[in-house]
C-alpha cells in the first residue's frame, strides 16, 4: 500500500475505542523491568486482561494476579527480579493467600519451565509472543494448575491490541513497530528471548497513533530493537523479505517511509524512535528527520565499542570508520541533532588499547548522553559459547568508570551549549523537586525545568529561554513565541 493511500485512510478513519473496564472486579498488579518495549508489552497485557475482568491496581496486597515483566539483558537485572519475586511471595504468605504470581517477558522465555522449578510459588510463565494466550492461561491458574506458554511466533505483533496506557503522564506514549531481533550480536540474549524480527502493519501503527492523538497525547516514541530495519511487505519475517514477490518488494514500506508517513499524517504529534542500529540506518531516515519539524532531532546510536576488532567479535556489522562516517552524515544532514550511545566495557578479549579506542571515539562524537554497562556474560549467547569472559571484574569496572566520567564531561559540554538559547519544550509533568516548576524535554531529548507561570498546562509546547544548567538538566523560563 502506498504512503499516500495510508495517510488518506487515516484522514477518513475512525478512532479506536478504548476498552471499557468499569465492570471489572478482579485486580491485576503489573510491574515492568528493562527496556521500553517491556513497558509497552505490559500495556498490551493489561489490555488483554481487561477483557478477562482484570483492572490494574497499584496496591500489591489487594491483587488477585501479580505479573512481573522481566528482563534478561544483564545478570543484575535477573537478580533484581528474583528479589522482587521473594517480596511477592512474602506478601502472598502473609496477606493474600489467594494471590497468583506470574512472570512475563525475557526471563520467562529464557528459563521456561525451569522457572517454575526454581521459584516454587510461581503459577504462570509466559514468553513475549504468547500474551494472546493469557486468557486461557489465567483460567488454568485460577483453577489451581500451573501454566506455561513460551512459544515464539513468526507473525505476532499485537497489531490489533489497543494498549491500556499504564503510569502514563497522558502526554508521551510508546508504539511498538517491530518485534524480535535478527542481529545476533554475540553478547546479547534478545534474539533468543524475543525471537525473529518482524514488522507491524503500518495501518495499525497509524490507527494506534490516531487513538493517542484523540486522547490528547503529544509525543509518540516508535519502538523496536532495531527500528531502522523496519520493513512491511504484507507481513512475514524480515529474513524472508528477499523471497517476497517483486510487487511486494516494490511497494514495501521501510522505516524512512513509515517515519515520513507518521510525521505527515500527525503534524501536531512529536515523534521519537528507539533504538537505531548503525548498520541499518539509512541516509533516507536522516533526510526525513531533517525534513519534519515534528521528528525529534535526537538519535540513540549504540556503538558498544570503539575498536573494530571488538565490534567484529561482537558481530556488530560495521567498523569504527563506518560508524564515524555515519556520525559525520548525521552532523551534516541534521546539524542540531543530539546523539546518545550504549557502550559495553570489558567484553571478551578487550585490551587496554581497545578500551582507549572507545574513549577516543567518544572524544570524537561527544555524545549528549549514554547508557554504559560492564559486560555480563549471558547463558546461551554466542559469546558465552565461543569466547572466554576473560576480563577481570575490577578491570571491567575501572574501564566503565572511565567511560562514565568522560561521558559526564561531554554531557555537561552539550547541556552548556544550550544556555542562552530559546527552544521549544513539551511539558511532560511537574518537576519532582518542586511543584512550582514544570519538567519537559526539548527536541534533543534534554530535560528542562522552569517555573510555572499559570498560563501553560501539561501537554503544551512552550518556548523556554535557557538561563543555566547542571550536567544533565536545563534551567529556564517561559517566554512568548515570536
Chain positions contacting ligand F3S, by CB under 6 A: 181, 183-185, 188, 190-191, 225-226, 277
- The secondary structure element, H or E, covering residue 321 is helix 320-333
Residue whose CB is less far from ligand SAH, 74 or 110: 74
Q: Are 429 and 471 in contact (CB under 8 A)?
A: no
Residue 389 found at the interface with ligand SAH (CB under 6 A): no
Q: Does 74 bind ligand SAH (CB under 6 A)?
A: yes
- Min dist. Cβ of residue 229 to ligand F3S (A): 9
Instruction: Provide the minimum distance between the beta carbon of 408 and ligand F3S in the complex, in angstroms, as a whole number.
Output: 24
CB atoms within 10 A of CB 152: 17
Other CB atoms within a 10 A radius of the CB of residue 193 amount to 26
Q: Which is nearer to ligand F3S, 35 or 466 (CB)?
A: 35
Query: Hey, which residues between 184 and 203 contact ligand SAH (CB under 6 A)?
Result: 187-188, 190
Q: For residue 378, state whether it binds ligand SAH (rule: CB under 6 A).
A: yes
SS3 53: coil
At residue 150, the 3 state secondary structure works out as coil
Minimal distance, residue 126 CB to ligand SAH, in Å: 21
CB burial of 245-278 (b: ≥16 within 10 Å; e: otherwise) equals eeeeeeebbbbbbbbbbbbbbbeebbbbbbbbbb
- Write down the least CB distance from residue 72 to ligand F3S, Å: 11
What is the Cα–Cα distance from 361 to 304, expressed in whole angstroms? 11
CB atoms under 10 Å from CB of 214, counted, come to 13
Give the residue, chosen from 157, 304, 358, 415, that forms a contact with ligand SAH under the rule CB under 6 A. Answer: 304
- Options 97-105, 114-122, 247-255, 374-382: segment touching ligand SAH (CB under 6 A): 374-382
Pick one of ligand F3S, ligand SAH, none as the site partner of residue 415 (Cβ within 5 to 8 A by kind). Answer: none
Q: What does the DSSP 8-state code read for residue 136?
A: H
Q: What CA–CA distance (Å, rounded) separates 178 from 237?
A: 10
Decide if residue 73 touches ligand SAH (CB under 6 A). yes
74 is in the binding site of which of ligand F3S, ligand SAH, none (Cβ under 5 to 8 A by kind)?
ligand SAH
Q: Which of residues 318-347 bind ligand SAH (CB under 6 A)?
A: 342, 344
Burial string for 38-62 (b: 16+ CB within 10 Å, else e) reads bbbbbbbbbbbbbebbbbbbeebee
Binding residues vs ligand SAH (CB under 6 A): 73-74, 187-188, 190, 225-226, 275, 277, 302, 304, 342, 344, 373, 375-376, 378
Amino acid at each position: 500500500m502506498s504512503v499516500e493511500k495510508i495517510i488518506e485512510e487515516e484522514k477518513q478513519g475512525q478512532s479506536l475505542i478504548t476498552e471499557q473496564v468499569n465492570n471489572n472486579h478482579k485486580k491485576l498488579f503489573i510491574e515492568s523491568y528493562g527496556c521500553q518495549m517491556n513497558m509497552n508489552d505490559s500495556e498490551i497485557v493489561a489490555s488483554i486482561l481487561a477483557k478477562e475482568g482484570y483492572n490494574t491496581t497499584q496496591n500489591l496486597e489487594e491483587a488477585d494476579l501479580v505479573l512481573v515483566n522481566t528482563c534478561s539483558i544483564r545478570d543484575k537485572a535477573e537478580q533484581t527480579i528474583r528479589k522482587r519475586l521473594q517480596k511477592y511471595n512474602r506478601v502472598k504468605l502473609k496477606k493474600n493467600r489467594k494471590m497468583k504470581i506470574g512472570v512475563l517477558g525475557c526471563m520467562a522465555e529464557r528459563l521456561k519451565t525451569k522457572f517454575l522449578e526454581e521459584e516454587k510459588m510461581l503459577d504462570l510463565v509466559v514468553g513475549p509472543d504468547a500474551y494472546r494466550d493469557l486468557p486461557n492461561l489465567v483460567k488454568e491458574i485460577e483453577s489451581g494448575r500451573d501454566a506455561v506458554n513460551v512459544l515464539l511466533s513468526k507473525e505476532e505483533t499485537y497489531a490489533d491490541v489497543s494498549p491500556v496506557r499504564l503510569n502514563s503522564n497522558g502526554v508521551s506514549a510508546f508504539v511498538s513497530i517491530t518485534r524480535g531481533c535478527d542481529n545476533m550480536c554475540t553478547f546479547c540474549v534478545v534474539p533468543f528471548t524475543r525471537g525473529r524480527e518482524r514488522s507491524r502493519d503500518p495501518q495499525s501503527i497509524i490507527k494506534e497513533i490516531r487513538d493517542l492523538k484523540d486522547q490528547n497525547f503529544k509525543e509518540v516514541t516508535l519502538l523496536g530493537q532495531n527500528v531502522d530495519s523496519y520493513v512491511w511487505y504484507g507481513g512475514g519475517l524480515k529474513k524472508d523479505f528477499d523471497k517476497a514477490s517483486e510487487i511486494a518488494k516494490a511497494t514495501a514500506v521501510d522505516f524512512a517511509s513509515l517515519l515520513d508517513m507518521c510525521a505527515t499524517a500527525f503534524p501536531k504529534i512529536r515523534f521519537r524512535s528507539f533504538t537505531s542500529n548503525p548498520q541499518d540506518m539509512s541516509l533516507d531516515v536522516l533526510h526525513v528527520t531533517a525534513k519534519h519539524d515534528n521528528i525529534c532531532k535526537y538519535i540513540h546510536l549504540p556503538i558498544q565499542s570503539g575498536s573494530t576488532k571488538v565490534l567484529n567479535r561482537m558481530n556488530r556489522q560495521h567498523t569504527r570508520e563506518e560508524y564515524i562516517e555515519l556520525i559525520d552524515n548525521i552532523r551534516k544532514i541534521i546539524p542540531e541533532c543530539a546523539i546518545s550511545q550504549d557502550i559495553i566495557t570489558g567484553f571478551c578479549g578487550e585490551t587496554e588499547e581497545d578500551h582507549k579506542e572507545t574513549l577516543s571515539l567518544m572524544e570524537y562524537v561527544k555524545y549528549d548522553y549514554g547508557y554504559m554497562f560492564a559486560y555480563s556474560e549471558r547463558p546461551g549467547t554466542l559469546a558465552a559459547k565461543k569466547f572466554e569472559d576473560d576480563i577481570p571484574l575490577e578491570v571491567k569496572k575501572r574501564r566503565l568508570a572511565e567511560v562514565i566520567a568522560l561521558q559526564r564531561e561531554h554531557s555537561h559540554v552539550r547541556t552548556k551549549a544550550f544556555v542562552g538559547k530559546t527552544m521549544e519544550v513539551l511539558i511532560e509533568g511537574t518537576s519532582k523537586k518542586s511543584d512550582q516548576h514544570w519538567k519537559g524535554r526539548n527536541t534533543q531529548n534534554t530535560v528542562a525545568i522552569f517555573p510555572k507561570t499559570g498560563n501553560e498546562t501539561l501537554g503544551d509546547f512552550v518556548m523556554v529561554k535557557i538561563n543555566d544548567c547542571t550536567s544533565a538538566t536545563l534551567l529556564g523560563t517561559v517566554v512568548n513565541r515570536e
